């Protein structure tokens, strides 16, 4: 009899279900988001953790499918999104809010330089991302030495 690979028996948080080669269901304790709709995944669903006190919109969690995590809570922003209102916005899981600014050698921000932006990034992933959004030793020492 065919067996399902252990890694395919259930999907962990942030993993998709609903297509060939993917798990058929979310692992215990997780819920599935509706992947359809505008900007959706066309039938694919993503597993999320409702009840962890974090509204992870990155995984399709919202006040309609998880009010206990999302009612009155900040919206989580994706990679490279700017935080314009820290009281109402936070970075989604695995992302970190970093300050994008013109830094001096001592990591102080250069006076009278361009305004500081706070951006969600994968700081801590081992890669010093020096693209348009610059990670550096001052705002992401975990990745940039």
Express each pLDDT in 67-88 by its tens digit.
999 888 788 888 888 998 888 8
- % residues pLDDT > 90 (the chain): 38
- Reported confidence tier of residue 7, pLDDT bands at 50, 70, 90: low
* Position 50 pLDDT exceeds 80: yes
* Position 138 pLDDT exceeds 90: yes
Q: Are 29 and 55 part of one and the same domain?
A: yes
Q: Are 16 and 34 part of one and the same domain?
A: yes
- % residues pLDDT > 70 (the chain): 86
* Owning domain of residue 109: 75-145
Q: Are 35 and 79 part of one and the same domain?
A: no
Mean pLDDT of 107-128: 90
pLDDT given at position 89 = 86
Q: Are 42 and 88 part of one and the same domain?
A: no
Spatial separation of the C-alpha atoms in residues 116 and 103, rounded to whole Å: 10
Of the residues 32, 54, 73, the one at which a domain ends = 73
* Position 5 pLDDT exceeds 80: no
């Amino acid at each position: 009899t065919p067996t399902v690979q252990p890694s395919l028996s259930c999907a962990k948080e942030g993993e998709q279900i609903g297509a060939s080669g993917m798990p058929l269901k979310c692992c215990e304790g997780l819920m599935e988001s509706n992947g359809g709709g505008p900007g959706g995944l066309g039938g694919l669903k993503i597993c999320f953790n409702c009840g962890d006190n974090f509204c992870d919109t990155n995984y399709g969690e919202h006040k309609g499918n998880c009010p206990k995590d999302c009612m009155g809570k900040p919206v989580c922003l994706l990679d490279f999104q700017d935080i314009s209102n820290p009281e109402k916005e936070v970075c989604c899981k695995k992302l970190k809010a970093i300050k994008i600014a013109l830094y001096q050698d001592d990591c102080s921000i250069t006076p009278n330089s361009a305004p500081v932006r706070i951006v969600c990034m994968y700081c801590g992933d081992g890669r010093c991302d020096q693209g348009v959004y610059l990670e550096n030793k001052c705002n992401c020492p975990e990745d940039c030495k």
